[in-house]
Amino acid sequence: MAVRYALFLGCIIPNRYPSIELATRNVAQALGMELVDMKGASCCPAPGVFKSFDKFTWLTIAARNLCIAEGLGCDIVTLCNGCYSSLKEANIILKEDATLQDKVNGILRDFNKKFYGKVEVRHFIEVVQREVGIDNLRRFVKRPLRLNVAVHYGCHLLKPKRHREVKSVERPTFLDELVEALGAKSISYRDKMMCCGAGGGVRASNPDVALDMTKEKLKNIKDAGADCVISPCAFCHLQFDRGQVEAGLQLNVPILHYVQSLGLALGLEPEKLGLYSHAISVEPILKKLAY
């Protein structure tokens, strides 16, 4: 591929799941993708909470992150749906509204930065889907994932529709296809498009409600016979993985970020994907895959 991307890690990955960063760097190398560090990047900031209270400050902080990528001369790639949402939507809003862009740049001037609108924001899932491609991805697979997988899209990957390039936000199929390209089977389960429970500040403000939603979704996944959950979002990953412990559940459903599952299919060792650092052990699926 030989394509460069500015890697935006956000908050959850460096602070809670550096394993996802490790997996991403090793997978990117295997795919021939160059990732450039965004030195000085901050929180995206979080779309569900920050934007609701102070849209202008949200835009300005997001614009500062976008400026860092512009300085590197490459598009941004994210590993969290929330980060993707904030950066993508701020980028679009500022490109479309010259008056607002001037106002934001008035603040950024104090930090020796200026937003030009020269880069795009991509989710890692988008890069794999569009730049690698399903057919080409199958050729990269060295160890097919013989697993029954419950795919979880997450809310911000799909909505709002006007800022997304997906055929359907209610019945999407692209993540299912990307999982099945790895040799796994994406299974159907009740309330598949339900939120993980964490979004919109619910995890922080009303954890009982958040965990109740998580419990409901994971029970549906367990009842459907899934070996694991695969999600493209670090925040959803946190809610499903550590949420099982916080809610006192005994379901023991392993959670993989998509990039980790991709790494397994590429033949990378579990240690290179940070798979031994999860709250819920992934040993059952590694055993099934004969690791």
Q: Specify the CATH number for the domain of residue 110.
A: 1.20.1050.140
Do 284 and 141 sit in the same domain of this protein?
A: yes
pLDDT at residue 1, as a whole number = 46
Do 117 and 139 sit in the same domain of this protein?
A: no
Do 17 and 94 sit in the same domain of this protein?
A: yes
The more confident residue out of 283 and 162 is 283
User: Is the separation of the CB atoms in 255 and 228 below 8 Å?
Assistant: yes
- Report residue 206's pLDDT band, with 50, 70 and 90 as the boundaries: confident
Adjacent-strand bridge partners of 185: 148
pLDDT in tens, 43-68: 999 887 888 789 999 999 999 999 99
106 in any annotated domain: yes
Do 35 and 96 sit in the same domain of this protein?
A: yes
Do 180 and 44 sit in the same domain of this protein?
A: no
Do 168 and 268 sit in the same domain of this protein?
A: yes
pLDDT surpassing 50 at residue 192: yes
pLDDT at residue 99, as a whole number = 97
Do 151 and 107 sit in the same domain of this protein?
A: no
Give the residue-averaged pLDDT of 272-287. 96
129 in any annotated domain: no
Do 28 and 150 sit in the same domain of this protein?
A: no
End residue of a domain, out of 68, 92, 123: 123
Across the chain, mean pLDDT equals 94
pLDDT at residue 23, as a whole number = 98
End residue of a domain, out of 78, 96, 123: 123
pLDDT at residue 267, as a whole number = 97
Do 161 and 223 sit in the same domain of this protein?
A: yes
Residue 268 tokens, joined = 């990378």
Residue ranges making up the domain that contains 263: 135-288
Cis, peptide link before residue 47, omega less than 30° from 0: no
DSSP 8-state secondary structure symbol assigned to residue 166: -
| Cα 5 from Cα 8, distance rounded (Å) | 9
pLDDT in tens, 127-143: 999 999 999 999 999 99
The pTM score is: 0.95
Do 201 and 105 sit in the same domain of this protein?
A: no
| Cα 252 from Cα 208, distance rounded (Å) | 20
- Phi first, then psi: what are they for 107, rounded to 5°? -75, -45
pLDDT surpassing 90 at residue 169: no
130 in any annotated domain: no
pLDDT surpassing 70 at residue 244: yes
Whose CA is closest to 158, among 77, 223, 84? 84
SS3 content of the chain, % helix, strand, coil (to 5): 50, 10, 40
Do 202 and 105 sit in the same domain of this protein?
A: no
User: Is the separation of the CB atoms in 10 and 123 below 8 Å?
Assistant: no
91 in any annotated domain: yes
157 in any annotated domain: yes
Residue 210 tokens, joined = 């958040």
Give the end-to-end CA distance of the chain in Å, rounded to a whole number.
Answer: 29
Do 224 and 260 sit in the same domain of this protein?
A: yes
End residue of a domain, out of 89, 123, 157: 123
68 in any annotated domain: yes
94 in any annotated domain: yes
Residue 212: exposed, middle, or buried by beta-carbon count in 10 A (0-12, 13-18, 19+)? Answer: middle
Query: What sign does the dihedral 19-15-83-69 (CA atoms) show?
Result: negative
Alpha carbon of 88 to those of 45, 75, 162, 223: distances in Å? 12, 11, 12, 36
Please give the torsion angle defined by the CA atoms of residues 147, 151, 157 and 160, in that order, rounded to the nearest 10 degrees: 160
Work out how many domains the chain is built from and give that number.
2
Give the residue-averaged pLDDT of 186-214. 90
Domain holding 172: CATH number?
A: 3.40.50.11810
128 in any annotated domain: no
Q: Which residues contact 235 (CB under 8 A, 6 or more apart)?
A: 12, 80, 81, 82, 154, 196, 198, 199
Residue 135 tokens, joined = 């057919």
pLDDT at residue 2, as a whole number = 63
pLDDT surpassing 80 at residue 165: no
